[in-house]
Amino acid sequence: MLPRLKISSNVIDRLNAVTSECSGYLFGLMHDDTLFVVGLGFDLNEECNSLSLDDQERCISQSKLHFPTEVDVCGFVTFTDSYFTPEFLEGLEQNVHITDNPLLLLYQLGNLTGIKAQLYVHENLKDATYEVVSETDIWTQFVHVRLQTRLPLTCELQADAISETLVMLQKKVAAGVVCFHFPKSSVYLKSSSSENGLNGISGDQTVGELCDIHGSSESNHSLTGGRVKVKGKKKCSPKEADLLSVEMLLKASRDSLVESPNKCAPIIHLINRSYRCLKTVIKVDTISMVHRNSKVVHLYTALVDSLWRNLKLIENSFLEQISNSVDSMFVVSAPETYHFLPRECGHFVTVVYQKQKHDSELDTERRLLHKLLALPLDRPYFRRGCAHLFTEDIPVNAPLINVHEGLTPTVNGGEVSLVQGTYSYHHYRQDHIDDSGWGCAYRSLQTIVSWFKWQGYSERAIPTHHEIQQCLVTIGDKPSSFVGSCQWIGSTEVSFCLESMLGVTSRILSVSSGEELGSLGGELAYHFKIEGTPIMIGGGVLAHTILGVDFNKNSGDLKFLILDPHYTGSEDLQIIQGKGWCGWKGVSFWNKAAYYNLCLPQRPRGP
């Protein structure tokens, strides 16, 4: 029976954005005779159809390490059927393991309505139909499982020794000496057996049911990918509701009733020579993607495989350091795992970076990832600051993140243009500073700086009021007496600080009254579509942050998405949204008698 085909709209959209003829592999998951195509990876070799079978396998193996576990190669996408030689199709069939019928997609630049899908069946290509499904549909049907653990690594600091030790570690895990625990419940997963592999729930229960158990035990939930913490009533998007956290336990003792005792005497080989020893603790952090209707016991194999993928990325990091070393006494940099969620992809991307390497030294690696995943090169996706923030990683009492999510626009027939990416909400009385009455522009600046930090453009900490004042004194804009004062700043001072602290330039727009802001709908919409940065606006004695506009260009109706820094309460999203501290406001919100300046930060280009 041939599988039903469902292709993520993210895959279609990225093919639509391709500007040159490229070919690559399709990645997906199988469930209930349905093939879900959720990702693609363009081949970094110019002539991928000329690669040997071993080279194809190596290319696929390296690419899939960046995808969530259970997502595997399922086919090939290209602009010409000249690739579909018998030798290539045979090699593809051998490298596709999740289905017996690899998928072939044939597309034309600028004409994606005519994408042709074929399945490779018994050495023949058979035309197939497919359904395009939204990102929301994918996230609703699948659950993401995050495994975090630590494993000791001790071996000689040589490439062969590291590889051999990690292989032995993988074999130890695969041999069944581990148990997986879901810390938000009393569920333990000991094996893939439906009879005795689970403690805490029955072997017939599904991953979705386990998610429900986790959800009912939590008092805090999150909005949109772990971005906002919400107290009280459950109110969360599929992305965060269906994230399962897992920890791993290693078996430290033998089972005398099952395992036979070792009947041979130990043999010790003593080699007397000098060598360098690598002794460290590996931090494992993996993501798996499984269907909600999968049995919980099936997670055991997926989790073991996810650990193998992460260890392989870590091994590659160690081996790269050894191969690039020119000094035999070089210092080993610990590998660190990051999970990214580019909005164009719709799936997690896992990357391992060397801890001691600065983002500026990783430009080549990031560009390769952009090319692999068909992502534009005009903005960063894989800098450390772009890493996905999971709810469990958010510090207690930290500023809320993306507090506008969930608010509904209200302009009839309007087009919504919003801030792109992540920001932190900074407002009065945070950081144990009572700046009520004078610090609103400082807080708006902090929110803007947080945006550049979250998007990976800057590693600078959020500036304090004192640092902002000192910056303005240093550049000669203010006298020395300004430091430590409670004096206001405006849009121009915000732009000065952004340029001095981050190297970011800004545009300044001025209007003579609040009513005149109603004429800026098109210009502000363009800013959010192209730049995507928050806008600071100051007028009279007040400053606010604009996060978006809802604009009907035919009628001229316009509303602003306002983030108000004058809020003095606790980090409670329900109050912030319910009381209008973040919300959609009409032109009447602005003071008709006030003169307004707007600071529009310009986003740097490049990955």
Active-site residues: which are they?
Answer: 440, 564, 566
Alpha-carbon distance of 580 to 19, in angstroms, equals 43
Alpha-carbon distance of 558 to 587, in angstroms, equals 7
Own/partner contacts of 473-477, CB < 8 Å, gap of 24 or more, are 474/500, 475/500
Question: Computed from CA positions of residues 579, 584, 589, 590, in that sequence, does the dihedral angle turn out positive or negative?
Answer: positive
All residues at 6 or more sequence positions from 363 whose CB lies less than 8 Å from its CB, including other chains = 607
Alpha-carbon distance of 107 to 12, in angstroms, equals 10
Alpha helices (H) along 96-206: 135-141, 159-174
All residues at 6 or more sequence positions from 502 whose CB lies less than 8 Å from its CB, including other chains = 449, 452, 457, 458, 460
* Cβ neighbour number for residue 102 with a 10 Å cutoff: 24
- Classify strands 349-354 and 116-121 as parallel, antiparallel or unpaired: unpaired
Alpha-carbon distance of 60 to 58, in angstroms, equals 5
Is the Cβ–Cβ distance between 119 and 102 less than 8 Å? yes
| DSSP per position, 271-285 | ------EEEEEEEEE
Length, in residues, of the chain: 607
Q: Which amino acid is at 531?
A: E
Own/partner contacts of 268-271, CB < 8 Å, gap of 24 or more, are none
Structure tokens at 148: 């975090």
Alpha-carbon distance of 11 to 133, in angstroms, equals 10
Alpha-carbon distance of 264 to 269, in angstroms, equals 15
**CB-count exposure of residue 353 (10 Å: 0-12, 13-18, 19+):** buried
Nearest of 241, 203, 245 to residue 224 by alpha carbon: 241
Nearest of 61, 15, 54 to residue 37 by alpha carbon: 15
Query: Tokens 């995050």 sit at which residue?
Result: 146
| DSSP per position, 323-364 | HH--STTPPPPPEEEEEE--TTT-S-EEEEEETT--GGGGHH
Structure tokens at 522: 């098109």
All residues at 6 or more sequence positions from 314 whose CB lies less than 8 Å from its CB, including other chains = 166, 282, 284, 335, 337, 352
Query: Tokens 């008092």 sit at which residue?
Result: 219
Q: CA dist 122 to 56, 81, 118, 127, 166, Å?
A: 21, 18, 13, 13, 38
